[in-house]
Amino acid sequence: MSYAPARPSACPACDAAPAAEALAARAPLPGARLLLSVPAVHCAACISSIERDLAQMDGVNSARLNLTLKRLSVDARAGIAAQDVIARLDRLGYEAHEMDAGTLSMTETEKQGRDLLMRVGVSGFAMMNVMLLSVAVWAGAEGATRDLFHLISALIAIPTVAFAGQPFFRNAWRALRAGRMDMDGPISFAIILTLFISLYESLLSGKHAYFEAVVMLIFFLLVGRYLDFRARAVARSAAQELAALEVPRAIRVSGGAEATVSVADLAVGDVVLVRPGGRVPVDGVVVAGQSEIDRALLTGETLPVFAAEGHVVSAGEVNLTGPLQVRVTAAGKDSSLHRMADLVANAESARLRYTTIAERAAAAYAPTIPIVSLAAFVIWYWISGGDLRLSMNIAVASLIITCPCALGLAVPAVVTSASGKLFRKGLLIKDGTALERLAEVDTVIFDKTGTLTLGTPAPTNLDQHGPEVLAVALALSEGSSHPLAQALARALRDRGLVPAALDGVSEVAGYGIEAQWQGARVRLGRAAWVGATPRSVTAAYLAIGAQTHAFTFADQLRPGAAEVVAALQAQGKAVKLMSGDVPAAVGDLAARLGIADWQAEALPQDKAAAITALHEAGHKVLMVGDGLNDTVALSVAHVSISPASALDAARAASDMVLLGRDLSPVADALHLSKTAMRRIRENLWQSGIYNIIFVPIALFGFATPLWAAFVMSISSITVTLNALRLK
Amino acid sequence: MEVLAVLIPVSLFLGFLGLGAFLWSLRKGMYDDPDGDSQRILDPRYDDKPKPVTPEEEGR
């Protein structure tokens, strides 16, 4: 996890100004392979339109889309940067994020997945072959034929168990050394004991051998293990790759010379240069330059703040318009960014380790396996008057029947089914236990900027201005990289307006943009600078000669925000809004969405404290947020969701990541998690009932290998079918 | 019963053949994108000739 300043793409405001870092990142790599996450792809048309379009792109050799992972791999010539491909995909209508370039080769998780899948395959084929021989025995093969079949089964089963059973043996050994008892201990014990007894029986031409049951047990448990692994690993690796970590760098100015250094090497008193579009790397005081800074990710304020000599800036803020020289007052461990990171670390260690329903079931069930078979052994030894072979056979039969075949599948099958459904809707589950925790939520807290809203302003009163005024505004705003100017230019362009012809356009850093139009001076910028009276809402001001106009802005609602709030309230959840922004903006949004309970000007600590208070009152809180100011709250909350556009620290602290722009999967997720938990409970009951019925049969000595095989397969199949019922 | 002497080796051989085919397809990355492959069958681009092998797939 990194709390380093995120790369510019993580912040909406930086997209407006091509950052110095972004330009540096374009440095050509020879024959680059790019990996992009494209969350919205879902169909055959998506594949062919994306692959065909990128194949025509200059410098791209080939592109291949993986629909399962929603990941695009582009084989490009040197000089093609991810930004170029992202821009091209954007024109096609697909949102894309760059992933870590370190994943060019096969990742560690993929290797593990293939390894598990290979063990599943080996045990599956062994199971089929051993089963063929066993069916012949059950059908009535006698004497030498039966012994031969048993021995051939042993020949297949023993190497299979040695290879495919390794994950269980390793886990059991690890648990044993640590003095713990988990499910893998009894499983490994049952596998090895059954294998030895069966081999012994076959050599003595005994009637029953359980080779097919052993191999089948390994196969079903491995399938459960693989599903479990895939559900978690795919999500985890994607989330990690989205949060491509960046080495924090700063430009140090000493004696007129600029040098790029690591932030860790900066000392208090150094002067660093922050270019427009760049992130402030340290806490400090501005010593030269004028600009505006965007503090949205730190505080949730939508409106940029003016900064000039003597102003204090904090690490993580984004410089918007002019270059700033900042004298370092705190760097590295002492900076405000790092203090925030410490708060998150504390919250995470304080969060109690959550025990899942699968762990609780396993903990309750694991000891019964050896106890039942030991009891069977002792009792039959006593009844039969010391017949070791008979009592051993019955002990093994009850051991193999109690082994939790269905229990191993019960939870992973449902979780896989549910997370696959959510992934298709655009919600990535990062934490294996998140679905379970989500089902318990009764209160939902939203952040405002960047979560319920997109964090990008849109002009609201364009209709109040004449076409000439708009033409001048368009011409001026196109010359600036300020977010308000960019939003204005985009909105006016969309209306099909043509910019007015201007002369001598120049940007005055920190104030606005100025030019000459038909002999008059025109200015677009701050109220005081253009000579207008400031309004209470976010606005940009235009002066044509002495006449002034105000363009007001409102933050755009994220698509699906209104629906989510309505759906959550309909589900009976308490919905709250907590933001660091000013009361006017927060209250306005709360009224639009119908949220009665809202709080403005909340500090990061306030949000976390509110959540802790709710937890103490017995509520379970879902936190949805995106900013640095939300990270503490996200890690304190019972379960948390952040959008893909969030800062990497926020994404790292949250349990689920919303891949698309749309917020509506949040409500679906809450609903689905409840259904999923119901299915899990049903599955646990089902596998329990099979045991209640068949364990007595085994204990009375009636169980045969045929019974064991029958119970195991039928319980595993019913459990899987029940999981697939999930809608 | 003499037929068993032939049938058992044959069935074992077929079993290993199946396992070999599975391991081969696993190594070739055929389980990497099941969703995408089920959609690609609808793509008319490769109807007349086989899909050209990309350098990425060749490397596996």
Q: Is residue A161's pLDDT more than 90?
A: yes
Least confidently predicted of A60-69, A288-297, A464-473, A606-615: A288-297
Output the CA torsion A656→A660→A663→A667 (10° steps). -50
Q: Does B13 touch chain A (CB under 8 A)?
A: no
The model's confidence at residue A324, banded by pLDDT at 50, 70 and 90, is confident
Q: Which two tokens stand for residue A124?
A: 């599956």
- Asked if residue A305 has pLDDT above 50, the reply is yes
Indicate yes or no: CB of B15 within 8 angstroms of CB of A128. Answer: yes
What is the pLDDT at residue A166? Answer: 92
Long-range Cβ pairs for the range A486-492 (8 Å, 24+): A486/A16, A487/A456, A487/A457, A487/A458, A487/A459, A487/A553, A488/A459, A488/A540, A488/A551, A491/A458, A491/A459, A491/A462, A492/A462
User: Which helix (H) or strand (E) is A622 found in, with range?
Assistant: strand A621-624
CATH 3.30.70.100 in chain A: give the residue spans. 8-106
Binned at pLDDT 50, 70 and 90, residue A123 comes out as: very high
The pLDDT score that the predictor gives to residue A20 is 38
Across A237-251, A282-296, A345-359, B35-49, least confident range:
A237-251
- Lowest-pLDDT range, A167-176, A313-322, A660-669, A688-697? A313-322
pLDDT of residue A105: 44
Inter-chain CB proximity B26 and A117 less than 8 Å: yes
CB-based contact, A48 to chain B, within 8 Å: yes
> What are the tens digits of pLDDT across the range A561-616?
888 899 999 988 899 998 877 788 788 888 888 888 888 888 777 888 899 899 89
Indicate which of B13, B14, B32, B51 best probes the interface with A, i.e. most A CBs within 10 Å of its own CB.
B32
Determine the average pLDDT of the residues in A450-474: 81
CATH topology of domain A8-106: Alpha-Beta Plaits (3.30.70)
B25 shares contact with chain A (CB less than 8 Å) = no
Work out the widest C-alpha separation in chain B, in whole angstroms.
54
Q: Does A67 touch chain B (CB under 8 A)?
A: yes
The reported pLDDT for the residue numbered A247 is 39
Cβ-defined contact of A48 to B43 (cutoff 8 Å) = yes
Average pLDDT estimate for A392-415: 82
The chain-wide mean pLDDT, for chain A, equals: 79
| A528 close to A538: Cβ distance less than 8 angstroms | no
Residues of B in contact with A62 (CB under 8 A): 54-56
Domain with CATH 3.40.50.1000 in chain A: 428-442+559-659
**Right CATH number for A428-442+559-659 from 3.40.50.300, 3.40.50.1000, 3.30.70.580, 3.90.79.10?**
3.40.50.1000
Report the alpha-carbon distance of residue A359 to residue A680 in Å, rounded.
12
CATH number of the structural domain A249-334: 2.70.150.10
**Does the CB of B58 have a partner CB in chain A at under 8 Å?**
no
A positions 331-390 inside 8 Å of B (CB): none
Is a pLDDT exceeding 80 seen at residue A622? yes
Q: What is the pLDDT of residue A27?
A: 41
Using CB atoms, pick whichever of B31, B35, B56 lies closest to residue A64: B56
- pLDDT over threshold 60, residue A219: yes
The band of A543, judged by pLDDT with boundaries at 50, 70 and 90, is confident
A660 with A368: CB under 8 angstroms?
no
Mean of the per-residue pLDDT values for chain B? 76
Of A487 and A260, which is predicted with more confidence?
Answer: A487
Would you say residue A29 has pLDDT above 70? no
The percent of residues in chain A predicted with pLDDT above 70, rounded, is 84
Contacts of A549 (CB under 8 A, 6+ apart): A465, A469, A473, A532, A541, A542, A543
- Chain B partners of A121 at a C-beta cutoff of 8 Å? 19, 22-23, 26
What is the per-residue pLDDT across A469-504, written as a single tens digit (0 to 9) for each? Answer: 888 888 888 777 677 787 888 888 888 788 888 887
Could A62 and B12 be called an inter-chain contact, meaning their C-beta atoms sit closer than 8 Å? no
Residues of B in contact with A140 (CB under 8 A): none
Instruction: Look at A254-268, A544-558, B39-53 and tell me which has the smallest mean pLDDT.
Output: B39-53
For residue A241, pLDDT beyond 60:
no
Least confident of A94-98, A645-649, A655-659: A645-649
ipTM over 0.90: no
- Asked if the C-beta of B33 comes within 8 angstroms of chain A's C-beta atoms, the answer is yes
CA within 13 Å, CB half, A591:
6
Of B1, B12, B33, which is closest to A66 when you measure between CB atoms?
B33
| Structure tokens given for A163 | 């290879």
For residue A643, give how far its alpha carbon lies from the nearest alpha carbon of chain B (Å).
Answer: 24
Joined together, the tokens standing for residue A372 give 């039942």
* Token pair recorded at residue A267: 């000392």
A194 has pLDDT over 70: yes
- Contact criterion met (CB < 8 Å) for A62 and B11: no
Q: Given pLDDT bands bounded at 50, 70 and 90, which one contains residue A266?
A: confident
Give the minimum alpha-carbon distance from B15 to chain A in angstroms, rounded to a whole number.
7
Closest C-alpha among A511, A513, A445, A440 to residue A475: A513
> For A167-184, what is each residue's pLDDT tens digit?
999 988 988 888 777 778
Q: How crowded is residue A95: how many other Cβ atoms within 10 Å of its Cβ?
A: 17
First to last CA, chain B: 46
Res. B60 pLDDT band, cuts 50 70 90: very low
Three-class SS state of A338: helix
Predicted confidence (pLDDT) per residue in A513-531, tens digit: 888 888 888 888 877 788 8
| Predicted local confidence at residue A11, as pLDDT | 35
Q: Is A132 on the interface with B (CB under 8 A)?
A: yes
Q: Which residue among A447, A555, A626, A655 is the active-site one?
A: A447
pLDDT at residue A17 is higher than 50: no
For chain A, what percent of residues have pLDDT higher than 90?
A: 8
Residue of B nearest to A65 (CA): B36
How many angstroms separate the CA atoms of A665 and A129, rounded? 45
Q: What confidence tier does B58 reach under pLDDT thresholds 50, 70, 90? A: very low
> Is pLDDT at A724 greater than 90 in this prediction?
no
CATH (residue range A455-557): 3.40.1110.10
Contacts of A114 in chain B (CB under 8 A): 26
Is A447 catalytic? The answer is yes
Report the C-alpha gap between A161 and A169 in whole angstroms: 10
Confidence (pTM): 0.69
Inform me whether the C-beta atom of residue B55 falls under 8 Å from chain A C-beta atoms: yes
How far is residue B2's CA from residue B25's CA, in Å, rounded to a whole number? 36
Domain boundaries defined on chain B: 4-52
**For residue A162, pLDDT beyond 90:** yes
Picking from A59-68, A199-208, A614-623, which range would have the lowest pLDDT averaged per residue? A59-68
- Arithmetic mean of pLDDT, A634-643: 86
**pLDDT, position B50:** 59
For chain A, where do the domains classified as CATH 2.70.150.10 start and end? 249-334
CB contacts, 8 Å: B36 with chain A: 47, 65-68
Residue whose token pair is 């031409």: A205
How are beta strands A71-76 and A257-262 bridged, if at all?
A: unpaired
A49 in contact with B at a CB cutoff of 8 Å?
Answer: no
Give B-chain residues touching A229 at CB under 8 angstroms.
none
Contacts of A34 in chain B (CB under 8 A): none
Cβ-nearest to A65 among B12, B34, B36 = B36
- pLDDT band of A13, cuts 50, 70, 90: very low
